[in-house]
Amino acid sequence: MDHSEIEHLKQVPFYAPQAGEVALFEHAFAQRLPVLIKGPTGCGKTRFVEHMAARLGRPLITVSCHDDLSAADLVGRHLIGEQGTVWTDGPLARAVRTGAICYLDEVVEARKDTTVVLHPLADDRRVLPIERTGEVLVAPPGFMLVISYNPGYQNLLKSLKPSTRQRFIAMTFGYPDAAVERAIIGAEAGVDAVLAGRLVDLATALRRLTDHDLEETVSTRLLVMAARLVASGLTLTQACQAAIVDALTDDAETAIALNEVVLAVI
Protein backbone atom coordinates (compact mmCIF):
# COMPACT_ATOMS: atom_id res chain seq x y z
CA MET A 1 0.00 0.00 0.00
CA ASP A 2 1.22 3.50 -0.80
CA HIS A 3 1.29 5.63 2.36
CA SER A 4 2.88 8.63 0.73
CA GLU A 5 1.46 12.10 0.54
CA ILE A 6 2.17 14.66 -2.15
CA GLU A 7 2.11 18.30 -1.23
CA HIS A 8 2.35 21.28 -3.49
CA LEU A 9 2.51 24.08 -0.99
CA LYS A 10 1.68 27.50 -2.35
CA GLN A 11 2.34 29.25 0.93
CA VAL A 12 5.58 28.69 2.78
CA PRO A 13 4.62 27.05 6.09
CA PHE A 14 5.82 28.89 9.19
CA TYR A 15 9.16 27.61 10.43
CA ALA A 16 11.24 29.26 13.16
CA PRO A 17 14.91 28.54 12.40
CA GLN A 18 17.30 27.39 15.09
CA ALA A 19 20.84 27.75 13.77
CA GLY A 20 21.83 27.92 10.13
CA GLU A 21 19.80 24.90 9.00
CA VAL A 22 17.95 26.82 6.28
CA ALA A 23 21.17 27.90 4.57
CA LEU A 24 22.71 24.45 4.97
CA PHE A 25 19.69 22.82 3.33
CA GLU A 26 19.78 25.33 0.47
CA HIS A 27 23.43 24.55 -0.15
CA ALA A 28 22.75 20.82 -0.06
CA PHE A 29 19.94 21.29 -2.61
CA ALA A 30 22.17 23.39 -4.86
CA GLN A 31 24.92 20.77 -4.66
CA ARG A 32 22.43 17.91 -5.14
CA LEU A 33 23.42 16.29 -1.89
CA PRO A 34 20.99 14.11 0.06
CA VAL A 35 20.25 15.12 3.66
CA LEU A 36 19.75 13.13 6.86
CA ILE A 37 17.95 14.93 9.72
CA LYS A 38 18.31 13.48 13.21
CA GLY A 39 16.33 14.59 16.22
CA PRO A 40 13.72 13.69 18.82
CA THR A 41 10.05 13.43 17.92
CA GLY A 42 8.10 16.67 17.62
CA CYS A 43 11.13 18.97 17.35
CA GLY A 44 10.28 20.38 13.91
CA LYS A 45 11.94 18.03 11.40
CA THR A 46 8.86 17.55 9.23
CA ARG A 47 7.87 21.21 9.41
CA PHE A 48 11.40 22.16 8.36
CA VAL A 49 11.27 19.92 5.29
CA GLU A 50 7.81 21.29 4.35
CA HIS A 51 9.12 24.81 4.76
CA MET A 52 12.21 24.13 2.65
CA ALA A 53 10.25 22.38 -0.12
CA ALA A 54 7.92 25.38 -0.41
CA ARG A 55 10.82 27.82 -0.24
CA LEU A 56 12.65 25.99 -3.01
CA GLY A 57 9.45 25.64 -5.04
CA ARG A 58 9.59 21.84 -5.14
CA PRO A 59 6.70 19.43 -4.62
CA LEU A 60 7.15 17.30 -1.52
CA ILE A 61 6.46 13.56 -1.35
CA THR A 62 6.50 12.25 2.22
CA VAL A 63 6.66 8.58 3.17
CA SER A 64 6.22 7.51 6.80
CA CYS A 65 8.44 4.46 7.08
CA HIS A 66 7.38 1.36 9.03
CA ASP A 67 8.81 -2.11 9.58
CA ASP A 68 6.81 -3.60 6.74
CA LEU A 69 7.93 -1.07 4.14
CA SER A 70 9.42 -2.94 1.19
CA ALA A 71 11.52 -1.76 -1.71
CA ALA A 72 8.46 -2.25 -3.97
CA ASP A 73 6.44 0.09 -1.73
CA LEU A 74 8.99 2.79 -2.52
CA VAL A 75 9.83 2.01 -6.13
CA GLY A 76 6.55 0.63 -7.49
CA ARG A 77 4.94 -2.57 -8.65
CA HIS A 78 2.83 -4.14 -11.35
CA LEU A 79 -0.84 -3.93 -10.50
CA ILE A 80 -3.59 -5.90 -12.17
CA GLY A 81 -6.14 -3.63 -13.78
CA GLU A 82 -8.92 -4.06 -16.33
CA GLN A 83 -6.43 -3.83 -19.20
CA GLY A 84 -4.06 -6.37 -17.70
CA THR A 85 -1.04 -5.59 -15.57
CA VAL A 86 0.18 -2.02 -15.44
CA TRP A 87 3.28 -0.64 -13.81
CA THR A 88 2.53 1.82 -11.00
CA ASP A 89 5.28 4.07 -9.67
CA GLY A 90 5.83 4.08 -5.93
CA PRO A 91 6.48 7.40 -4.17
CA LEU A 92 10.24 7.31 -4.70
CA ALA A 93 9.96 6.71 -8.45
CA ARG A 94 7.29 9.42 -8.65
CA ALA A 95 9.57 11.87 -6.86
CA VAL A 96 12.46 11.08 -9.20
CA ARG A 97 10.28 11.41 -12.32
CA THR A 98 8.76 14.71 -11.22
CA GLY A 99 11.83 16.28 -9.61
CA ALA A 100 10.26 16.44 -6.17
CA ILE A 101 11.75 16.37 -2.71
CA CYS A 102 11.24 12.86 -1.32
CA TYR A 103 11.12 12.79 2.48
CA LEU A 104 11.39 9.41 4.19
CA ASP A 105 10.33 9.97 7.77
CA GLU A 106 11.65 7.55 10.45
CA VAL A 107 13.74 5.74 7.88
CA VAL A 108 15.31 3.38 10.47
CA GLU A 109 11.91 1.74 10.83
CA ALA A 110 12.12 0.41 7.27
CA ARG A 111 13.70 -2.97 6.66
CA LYS A 112 17.43 -2.87 5.95
CA ASP A 113 17.03 -4.26 2.43
CA THR A 114 14.60 -1.44 1.66
CA THR A 115 17.09 1.34 2.28
CA VAL A 116 19.50 -0.22 -0.21
CA VAL A 117 17.30 1.04 -3.08
CA LEU A 118 18.29 4.54 -1.99
CA HIS A 119 21.99 3.98 -2.61
CA PRO A 120 22.30 4.74 -6.34
CA LEU A 121 20.07 7.79 -5.83
CA ALA A 122 22.07 9.05 -2.88
CA ASP A 123 25.48 9.14 -4.53
CA ASP A 124 26.92 10.76 -7.65
CA ARG A 125 24.91 8.52 -9.93
CA ARG A 126 21.54 9.96 -8.90
CA VAL A 127 19.69 7.16 -10.66
CA LEU A 128 16.88 4.82 -9.70
CA PRO A 129 17.07 1.48 -11.51
CA ILE A 130 13.66 -0.17 -11.73
CA GLU A 131 14.48 -3.84 -12.05
CA ARG A 132 10.97 -4.94 -12.89
CA THR A 133 10.66 -2.73 -15.96
CA GLY A 134 14.31 -2.44 -16.91
CA GLU A 135 14.05 1.36 -16.69
CA VAL A 136 16.79 3.49 -15.16
CA LEU A 137 15.37 6.81 -13.98
CA VAL A 138 17.88 9.66 -13.92
CA ALA A 139 17.05 12.19 -11.23
CA PRO A 140 16.55 15.74 -12.53
CA PRO A 141 18.19 18.64 -10.64
CA GLY A 142 14.97 19.33 -8.71
CA PHE A 143 14.97 15.90 -7.09
CA MET A 144 16.27 15.70 -3.53
CA LEU A 145 16.32 12.86 -1.06
CA VAL A 146 15.77 13.69 2.62
CA ILE A 147 15.58 11.10 5.38
CA SER A 148 15.01 11.52 9.09
CA TYR A 149 15.17 9.46 12.22
CA ASN A 150 15.05 9.79 15.94
CA PRO A 151 18.31 8.58 17.48
CA GLY A 152 16.69 8.44 20.95
CA TYR A 153 16.14 5.66 23.39
CA GLN A 154 13.91 3.40 21.33
CA ASN A 155 16.32 3.25 18.46
CA LEU A 156 19.39 1.95 20.25
CA LEU A 157 19.02 -1.30 18.37
CA LYS A 158 17.97 0.27 15.15
CA SER A 159 20.32 2.36 13.13
CA LEU A 160 21.28 3.01 9.58
CA LYS A 161 23.91 0.90 7.91
CA PRO A 162 27.17 2.87 7.52
CA SER A 163 26.98 2.32 3.77
CA THR A 164 23.62 4.13 3.79
CA ARG A 165 24.36 6.92 6.23
CA GLN A 166 27.67 7.86 4.67
CA ARG A 167 25.86 8.91 1.52
CA PHE A 168 24.05 11.74 3.32
CA ILE A 169 25.10 14.99 4.88
CA ALA A 170 23.62 15.11 8.38
CA MET A 171 21.84 17.77 10.41
CA THR A 172 21.18 17.35 14.13
CA PHE A 173 18.00 18.90 15.50
CA GLY A 174 17.08 19.38 19.14
CA TYR A 175 14.27 21.19 20.91
CA PRO A 176 14.49 24.90 20.12
CA ASP A 177 15.97 27.47 22.50
CA ALA A 178 13.48 28.99 24.94
CA ALA A 179 12.94 32.20 22.96
CA VAL A 180 12.38 30.33 19.70
CA GLU A 181 10.10 27.79 21.35
CA ARG A 182 8.00 30.61 22.87
CA ALA A 183 7.67 32.17 19.42
CA ILE A 184 6.64 28.81 17.91
CA ILE A 185 3.95 28.22 20.56
CA GLY A 186 2.65 31.77 20.12
CA ALA A 187 2.48 31.45 16.34
CA GLU A 188 1.11 27.89 16.18
CA ALA A 189 -1.51 28.14 18.93
CA GLY A 190 -2.29 31.86 18.80
CA VAL A 191 -1.63 32.31 22.51
CA ASP A 192 0.01 35.26 24.27
CA ALA A 193 3.65 35.49 25.31
CA VAL A 194 2.85 34.92 28.99
CA LEU A 195 1.20 31.55 28.42
CA ALA A 196 3.84 30.52 25.88
CA GLY A 197 6.50 31.46 28.43
CA ARG A 198 4.91 29.36 31.17
CA LEU A 199 4.76 26.32 28.92
CA VAL A 200 8.40 26.74 27.92
CA ASP A 201 9.40 27.09 31.61
CA LEU A 202 7.51 23.87 32.27
CA ALA A 203 9.27 22.16 29.35
CA THR A 204 12.65 23.29 30.69
CA ALA A 205 11.86 21.78 34.10
CA LEU A 206 10.52 18.54 32.60
CA ARG A 207 13.47 18.17 30.26
CA ARG A 208 15.78 18.34 33.27
CA LEU A 209 14.18 15.22 34.75
CA THR A 210 16.28 12.23 33.86
CA ASP A 211 15.46 9.65 36.48
CA HIS A 212 12.03 8.69 35.21
CA ASP A 213 10.92 5.97 32.89
CA LEU A 214 10.24 8.31 30.04
CA GLU A 215 11.27 7.15 26.62
CA GLU A 216 11.27 10.72 25.51
CA THR A 217 10.56 14.05 27.14
CA VAL A 218 8.05 16.75 26.25
CA SER A 219 8.30 17.90 22.63
CA THR A 220 7.55 21.24 21.01
CA ARG A 221 4.59 19.49 19.37
CA LEU A 222 3.05 18.63 22.77
CA LEU A 223 3.58 22.17 24.03
CA VAL A 224 1.74 23.51 20.99
CA MET A 225 -1.09 21.06 21.65
CA ALA A 226 -1.33 22.11 25.31
CA ALA A 227 -1.43 25.77 24.26
CA ARG A 228 -4.19 25.05 21.75
CA LEU A 229 -6.30 23.38 24.43
CA VAL A 230 -5.91 26.49 26.59
CA ALA A 231 -6.76 28.75 23.65
CA SER A 232 -9.86 26.65 23.17
CA GLY A 233 -11.00 27.20 26.79
CA LEU A 234 -9.52 24.49 29.02
CA THR A 235 -7.59 25.45 32.13
CA LEU A 236 -3.82 25.29 31.95
CA THR A 237 -3.81 22.41 34.44
CA GLN A 238 -6.29 20.37 32.38
CA ALA A 239 -4.36 21.09 29.21
CA CYS A 240 -1.03 20.05 30.75
CA GLN A 241 -2.57 16.89 32.14
CA ALA A 242 -3.91 15.81 28.75
CA ALA A 243 -1.25 17.11 26.39
CA ILE A 244 1.81 16.60 28.55
CA VAL A 245 1.50 14.25 31.55
CA ASP A 246 -0.86 11.63 30.13
CA ALA A 247 0.63 11.99 26.68
CA LEU A 248 4.11 11.20 27.98
CA THR A 249 3.51 8.24 30.26
CA ASP A 250 1.27 5.27 31.10
CA ASP A 251 3.00 4.71 34.42
CA ALA A 252 1.06 6.00 37.46
CA GLU A 253 4.13 6.86 39.53
CA THR A 254 5.80 8.68 36.69
CA ALA A 255 2.56 10.59 36.08
CA ILE A 256 2.52 11.70 39.74
CA ALA A 257 6.10 12.91 39.48
CA LEU A 258 5.39 14.79 36.25
CA ASN A 259 2.27 16.31 37.79
CA GLU A 260 4.29 17.62 40.69
CA VAL A 261 6.54 19.45 38.28
CA VAL A 262 3.51 20.82 36.43
CA LEU A 263 1.93 22.12 39.62
CA ALA A 264 5.22 23.61 40.84
CA VAL A 265 5.93 25.48 37.62
CA ILE A 266 2.63 26.72 36.20
Is residue 186 a contact point for ligand ADP (CB under 6 A)?
Answer: no
Q: At closest approach, how far in Å is the CB of 220 from ligand ADP?
A: 4
Pairing of strands 60-64, 5-7: antiparallel
* String of contacts with ligand ADP for each residue 59-78, x by CB under 6 A: --------------------
Is residue 154 a contact point for ligand ADP (CB under 6 A)?
Answer: no
| Single residue of 118, 184, 196, 226 touching ligand ADP by CB under 6 A | 184
CB nearer to ligand ADP: pick between 34 and 186: 186
Is residue 16 a contact point for ligand ADP (CB under 6 A)?
Answer: yes
DSSP string, 111-177: -HHHHGGGGGGSSTT-EEEETTTTEEEEPPTT-EEEEEE--SGGGSS----HHHHTTSEEEE--PPP
Q: At closest approach, how far in Å is the CB of 130 from ligand ADP?
A: 29
Q: What is the dihedral of CA 63, 68, 74, 77, to 10 degrees?
A: -140
| Single residue of 62, 114, 164, 220 touching ligand ADP by CB under 6 A | 220
Q: At closest approach, how far in Å is the CB of 175 from ligand ADP?
A: 8
Vertex 22 angle, CA 66 and 44, to 5°: 40
Answer whether 68's CB lies under 8 Å from 178's CB: no
| Single residue of 28, 36, 43, 243 touching ligand ADP by CB under 6 A | 43
CB neighbour list of residue 101: distance below 8 Å, 6 or more residues apart: 49, 52, 53, 56, 58, 59, 60, 61, 95, 143, 144, 145, 146
Stretch that binds ligand ADP, among 8-16, 68-76, 81-89, 230-238 (CB under 6 A): 8-16
Is residue 249 a contact point for ligand ADP (CB under 6 A)?
Answer: no
Instruction: Summarize as ranges the residues that interact with ligand ADP (CB under 6 A).
Output: 14-16, 39, 41-47, 176, 184, 188, 220-221, 224
